[in-house]
Structure 1
């Protein structure tokens, strides 16, 4: 296969056109390519007071920072959730991607927690957010399996943050056990998998069963090696076991794949927006 991008785009166009099913796998690199970056200028512009006070370096590592008090912790997390979940509208990259797949039988599995797929128009019953969603809170010890919408609280905390702190009365507590709460993110063994999570998991498995052995494109976008067992490795395995399948991988840093799939993989390291637009034409 020639390495020329136009050749690869043309091949991807034909592959997508011929496919009956498309399974989209979205990772952190996809949202970063869409402009929702966790470091650099965007981080500095939004978190200057926190950077000065705590020496934070980026949003990813800041999520593991041990803040001295819950008032400081939630001042940070409210801002983090706000700038990644509530402030951004749907981004052009996600909208282009939706236009690409909307007329196919599609499904989305994603480790992203920013709701960009939903904002771009993807059907909520065709999205499996495996790792959670910034829009919800849960008991930090998982004492029960209910999630709580946090939009009103987060926006209030952001507005009322003073010197990197919120007032004590704004600190959220679990309504059942009275303990601390966390953003709904898979960070430990207490991650809550509620009824909706299991419904999405079933819908994903139903899609896999329906598309098994069919003409399908596994569209892997921005998947690194933090959690390769969720999307990257399964996509490789399913491509290998289905003679009618093709894997399209968009990944600037990790385009390499299983040698067994060499003739069934179209890899792009170029700008993701340009590739998506090029293939959609």
Structure 2
């Protein structure tokens, strides 16, 4: 990374009042997690190979009800993967910057892996745009809008699905589903994510007129939910943007695009900060 780029990021952080981290699937790649549309077609490509159907036909509420054994096994595998994977050091570098520069912060992520919570970020400062695999809901939101944190592990989900035994909603007593936003999803219960959005707005109100730095990490143009938040912060709060993405990194000046993965980029910035302060 060029020294001038590092100097600019260093100055932005030193003069910032708050930091917003907007993260996509690329944030988890350095932890060993697959993204959704990577070089080998990622998770969705594997699903399409297995089913010989598009991911839109396979990962939606109707398909979930039609083939619950496959669907629960699919999500159980993801749960087990998330449970057995540790967040990479980039998460902890960001936490250290928040402490070092005395920054208010908020996390906006399209990821459903709970890895920001696992790395020790406060639950009250995280907005999960697509929900979380740690939470379940009824498969019929007309019968119940209850959301609960599951005590089942991914391995248990997979083992049970082989026996056609599926989690049940404690209120409606019918089959549950993950509280994650699927494709073509009209039954996702959004009360938890709406509460998170309300907290994010309170954070923005608190920091209106202040210096906000945004680190957009591992979010490509295919999932616009994250980039929409980045653009919103740039346009409405005059936030300074650092976009980290090995492919889709371009952003208009004076904002900064970095064509590297999450861990490498964050480590280079951190090394520079430590040298400057050392």
Match of 1:209? 205
Match of 2:94? 97
Indicate if the aligned counterparts of 2:132 and 2:179 stay in contact, CA closer than 8 A: yes
Equivalent position SS for 1:133 = strand
What's the TM-score once normalised by structure 1's chain length? 0.78
User: CA–CA distance in 1 between the matches of 2:112 and 2:121?
Assistant: 14
Q: 1:166 aligns with which of 158, 162, 165?
A: 162
User: CA–CA distance in 2 between the matches of 1:16 and 1:275?
Assistant: 15
Indicate if the aligned counterparts of 1:22 and 1:216 stay in contact, CA closer than 8 A: yes
Indicate if the aligned counterparts of 2:80 and 2:153 stay in contact, CA closer than 8 A: no
User: CA–CA distance in 2 between the matches of 1:78 and 1:13?
Assistant: 41
Q: How many residues align?
A: 259
After superposition, the Cα gap between the structure-2 partners of 1:193 and 1:233, relative to the gap in structure 1 and judged at 3 Å, is: closer
Question: Cα deviation per residue 1:69-115 (whole Å; 9 max; x = unaligned)?
Answer: 4233323321222112x121232222222222243111111111101
Q: 1:14 aligns with which of 11, 14, 17?
A: 11
The CA deviation at 1:249 is 0.9
Indicate if the aligned counterparts of 1:140 and 1:190 stay in contact, CA closer than 8 A: yes
User: CA–CA distance in 2 between the matches of 1:128 and 1:220?
Assistant: 14
Indicate if the aligned counterparts of 2:217 and 2:244 stay in contact, CA closer than 8 A: yes
Question: Cα deviation per residue 1:154-178 (whole Å; 9 max; x = unaligned)?
Answer: 33233x36xxx5113x222334434
After superposition, the Cα gap between the structure-2 partners of 1:75 and 1:91, relative to the gap in structure 1 and judged at 3 Å, is: same
Indicate if the aligned counterparts of 2:138 and 2:176 stay in contact, CA closer than 8 A: yes
The CA deviation at 1:31 is 1.5
Q: Which residues of 2 match residues 21-40 of structure 1 at below 5 A?
A: 21-38=18-35
Equivalent position SS for 1:13 = helix
Q: 1:268 aligns with which of 250, 258, 261?
A: 258
Q: Which residues of 2 match residues 111-122 of structure 1 at below 5 A?
A: 111-122=110-121
User: CA–CA distance in 1 between the matches of 2:123 and 2:201?
Assistant: 16
After superposition, the Cα gap between the structure-2 partners of 1:273 and 1:56, relative to the gap in structure 1 and judged at 3 Å, is: farther
The CA deviation at 1:219 is 1.5
User: CA–CA distance in 2 between the matches of 1:55 and 1:231?
Assistant: 29
User: CA–CA distance in 2 between the matches of 1:270 and 1:212?
Assistant: 31
The CA deviation at 1:151 is 3.7
Equivalent position SS for 1:213 = coil
Equivalent position SS for 2:33 = coil
The CA deviation at 1:54 is 4.9
Equivalent position SS for 1:112 = coil
Q: Which ranges of structure 2 fall in alignment gaps of 5 or more residues?
A: 272-278
User: CA–CA distance in 2 between the matches of 1:53 and 1:112?
Assistant: 23
User: CA–CA distance in 1 between the matches of 2:245 and 2:42?
Assistant: 22
Indicate if the aligned counterparts of 1:74 and 1:166 stay in contact, CA closer than 8 A: no
Q: RMSD of the alignment, in Å?
A: 3.1
Match of 2:78? 80
After superposition, the Cα gap between the structure-2 partners of 1:210 and 1:181, relative to the gap in structure 1 and judged at 3 Å, is: same
The CA deviation at 1:56 is 9.2
Match of 2:274? none
Question: Cα deviation per residue 1:111-169 (whole Å; 9 max; x = unaligned)?
Answer: 111011111111111111121001111112223222233342533233x36xxx5113x
1:148 aligns with 2:148: yes
